[in-house]
Amino acid sequence: MTRNAEVLVERNHRTHWGNHAWNAISRSALILSCLTLLATADAVAQDNKGKPRKSAAKSKEPAANSNEAQAQEKESADDEPKFTAEQIEKAKSKYTSAEEAFGVAAGHYNGKNYAASREPFEAALILAPEKDIAYRVKVYGALTASYRQLESSEQLIGACEYIIRHSDRDAEKSLTRRSLLSFIHERGKVDPFIKRHEERLKKNPNDRLSVYLLSEVYSRLRENPERSVELLKQLAVLDGKKPGEAVDVNTSAKLAMQYIRAKDYQKGAELYEQIAPLDEKLAAWHWKEAAAAWLKLKQNDKALAAAKKSLEATPEKRNDQLAHFWHRGLGDVLLAVGEPKLAIPQFEKAIETTKIEGYVKGCKASLAEAREKAGK
């Protein structure tokens, strides 16, 4: 019964998050993430049958010394939302175990009565072992549905930050961050959120949670590309990367984009070219971005070379909108560097992949220019 309830909660949790963040990723990534979550739910459910659970914290590398270990343990404990003495006493008197509380909560949750699921889910957290990080991450994930309905924003922010700090799944961290930023934007809490995490970084420049969150805040909510670049570099160092070494493709792409927003076009172009060969599905897009950056620097030879590599790569297929921008971006570069014949089919494809009137009108104008310069 508990196993089925947990799987249903995982499924409904994905549906709830889908309203806020899942539409930002590709269909293939979504399927992969769903399969991962289902596998995790099954594993956790098996653990609930009496087997010792594995803590996500145990998978991390041990601290270099005892003082650092104690600091990390304290930081981990301090970042979890706190419960009152009354809540703790009620949970202990009402439920015999975390599994019982979770089962009650799952019934409400799967019926989409998120408000009613809050109390038993919180009881499950209270009754669960403190060191069972994986279980706590899962319960906090389910609690976000009810916390989002509260007038106060503190509970939702605290739960999301706990998930981001402790989850061992990159996709879950990214989706949680995106939904959290959407939430603070909707609630008008961006400025106090920035202030709190900047103050945390003043106390501890190596606070990865704050670096991870603020690098995205300064990219999406309070555009500050210089600060975002600084934080993304710091994030790479915290993740054990050497200066100048490419990190994972998505993080590197964000860094390259921030370089370009900060008008450091050469670094942006070079980084896009560095990561382009690392992911076949994204290669065409990254080469196109590199070509556009070289064009900004008026280095037409490098822009043309990057554009041709983009054309040789697997075409952009994630969705029609991205395909439109890919074709249009390549057409703009090729037209600007004196290759109108190569630009013509790109503008034609760009028109085919959009129904937005303004986009179509702009592409038709560029197509007419390309045809005129090509003598057609």
**Separation of alpha carbons 104 and 94, rounded Å:** 11
Question: Among 126, 143, 171, which residue terminates a domain?
Answer: 171
* Number of alpha helices (DSSP H) and beta strands (DSSP E) in the chain: 19, 0
To 5 degrees, how large is the angle CA 12–CA 50–CA 126?
60
Name, in order, each residue with C-beta under 8 angstroms of 361's C-beta and a sequence gap of 6 or more: none
Helix %, strand %, coil % of the chain (to 5): 75, 0, 25
Count how many domains the chain has.
2
Mean pLDDT across the stretch 330-356? 97
Q: pLDDT above 70 covers what percent of the chain?
A: 77
Quick check: is 140 in a domain?
yes
pLDDT at 65: 41
Which amino acid does the sequence have at 351?
I
Query: Residue 112 falls within a domain, yes or no?
Result: yes
pLDDT at position 130 is 83
Q: Which of 133, 137, 104 is nearest to 121 (CA)?
A: 104
User: Does residue 290 contact residue 313 with C-beta atoms inside 8 Å?
Assistant: no
Per-residue pLDDT of 298-327, as tens digits, reads 999 999 999 999 999 999 999 999 999 999
First and final CA of the chain: distance in angstroms?
70
Of 121, 144, 171, which residue constitutes the final position of a domain? 171
Give the mean model confidence (pLDDT) for residues 280-294. 96
Q: Which of 66-80, 153-167, 267-281 has the lowest mean pLDDT?
A: 66-80
Least confident segment among 38-42, 186-190, 255-259: 38-42
Domain that holds residue 374: 315-376
Q: Which of 353, 354, 345, 357 has its CA nearest to residue 366?
A: 345
- Whether residue 200 is contained in a domain is answered as no
Tell me the CA distances in angstroms from 34 to 5, 137, 173, 181, one per residue in order: 17, 16, 14, 22
Q: What is the pLDDT of residue 36?
A: 35
Lowest model confidence (mean pLDDT) among 68-77, 187-196, 213-222, 311-320 = 68-77
Q: Identify whether 12 is part of a domain.
A: yes
Residue 324 within any structural domain of the chain: yes
* pLDDT tens track for 28-72: 333 333 333 333 333 333 344 333 343 434 334 333 444 444 444
pLDDT, tens only, 99-127: 999 999 999 999 999 999 999 999 999 99
Question: What phi and psi values does residue 234 have, to the nearest 5 degrees?
Answer: -65, -40
Query: Does 279 fall in a domain?
Result: no
Q: Read off the pLDDT of each residue in 341-368 and give the average, rounded to a whole number.
A: 96
Q: What is the pLDDT of residue 81?
A: 76
pLDDT of residue 35: 31
Residue 212's nearest CA partner among 247, 263, 259, 188 is 247
What SS3 state is found at 290?
helix
Residue 38 CB partners (closer than 8 Å, separation 6+): 7, 10, 11
Q: What is the pLDDT of residue 104?
A: 96
Q: Say which residues have a Cβ less than 8 Å from residue 150's Cβ, sequence separation at least 6.
A: 156
Q: At 335, is the pLDDT very low, low, confident or very high (cuts 50, 70, 90)?
A: very high
> Which pLDDT score is estimated for 366?
97
Contacts of 125 (CB under 8 A, 6+ apart): 83, 98, 136, 139, 140, 143
Percent of the chain with pLDDT over 90: 68
Quick check: is 215 in a domain?
no
The answer to whether position 255 is within a domain reads no
pLDDT number for residue 237: 87
Of 171, 186, 216, the domain-final residue: 171
Mean pLDDT of 15-27: 41
